[in-house]
Amino acid sequence: MKIRIGTRKSKLALWQANYIASKLKEHYPNIQVELIKITTKGDKILDVPLAKVGGKGLFVKEIEEALLRKEIDIAVHSLKDVPTYFPDGLGIVAVPEREDPRDAFLSVKYNSLEDMPAGAVLGTSSLRRKAQILTKRKDIQVKDLRGNVDTRIRKLEEGQYDGIILAYAGLKRLGLEGKVKQVFSPEEIIPAVAQGLLGIEARLDDKETVNIVSVLNHRESSIRAEAERSFLKTLEGGCQVPLGAYSTVEGDKLKIAGFVADLEGERFFKKSIQGDISSVKELGETLAKKLIDMGAGKILQEIYCKGD
């Protein structure tokens, strides 16, 4: 039995692919696993903000094409990078247990976002982070920051930025927690949809492979992923909009909080709802529709395809 895993070449992507390989070997000691490294468009375009070159999908398209050509058997993605629509015949077949979904602040000079003086430069490539930061600190400069985790940290340490914000999950996976000065609660900064989650994608008609990797699915993480991605799918118009969602499960109840903002963080709509886990897809949709009714719909219309 052999599984070929398609992965990006970044250190974090390779960690994630190797992690899934090790989990498969735990369940199937005789399995052979091969990593196939693939360069995506998102890895090539490093000098333009993600929102201007298409955002979601930039890190998965070439890998999905390799799946469809049967050059690989599964793909391991950061689920927050995966669009809510799949090419025919492909889909997420397992969601392993979620890593910490929070955002982290790194700085050489300052211990927290609050400590940064007026005019200081904060780096992030995320419209979601930018909008939420600007609601707290309109007096600092938020500048685009691209590149893999190591590149972003190097730019910080070279003094190009006074502080940067990265996903805590990636830092933990790479053993870089020691560089973190502050971790924001999901109430302070709502995470990206599916942040901290991995998604295993496969050909849906490849029943043997789907059956093999299904043992890695973590029920609660899968439920939370479905709720948050349903929220995203309801709001998506193919454009880049500052938004985020975060869900928690307690017993048979799921609570989901979400927001939509304009690009400057001036208009900011936030809400949370709770319901039964048997209808998580509908909960995500309902939250999105409530935000649209609150005023987010106008923002979506204004941003629609601007810079797409």
Condensed to tens digits (0 to 9), the pLDDT of residues 15-43 reads 999 999 999 999 999 999 999 999 876 56
Query: Under CATH, domain 218-308 is a member of which superfamily?
Result: Porphobilinogen deaminase, C-terminal domain (3.30.160.40)
* pLDDT at res. 308: 37
Pick from 132, 126, 120: nearest CA to 264: 132
The CATH number of 103-184, from 3.40.50.1820, 3.40.190.10, 3.90.700.10, 3.60.21.10, is 3.40.190.10
Domain regions of the chain by residue span = 1-96+197-217, 103-184, 218-308
> Which residue in 43, 47, 73, 81 is the catalytic one?
81
Is 81 an annotated catalytic residue?
yes
pLDDT at 206 over 90: yes
Least reliable range by pLDDT among 2-6, 179-183, 297-301, 303-307 = 303-307
* pLDDT at res. 52: 52
pLDDT at 145 over 60: yes
**pTM score, two decimals?**
0.91
Give the E-state strand segments of 51-102 in sequence order: 74-78, 90-94
Mean pLDDT of 11-16: 94
Mean pLDDT of 82-92: 94
With b for 16 or more beta-carbon neighbours within 10 A and e for fewer, the 5-28 pattern comes to bbbbebebbebbbebbbebbeeee
pLDDT at 57 over 80: no
Q: What percent of the chain has pLDDT over 70?
A: 92
Give me the residues paired with residue 75 across strands.
Answer: 6, 201
Q: What is the rounded distance in angstroms from the CA atom of residue 231 to the CA atom of residue 225?
A: 10
pLDDT at 173 over 60: yes
- Determine the topology of domain 1-96+197-217 in CATH: D-Maltodextrin-Binding Protein; domain 2 (3.40.190)
* pLDDT at res. 47: 56
When comparing pLDDT for 303 and 101, which is higher?
Answer: 101
pLDDT band at 307 (very low <50, low <70, confident <90, very high): very low
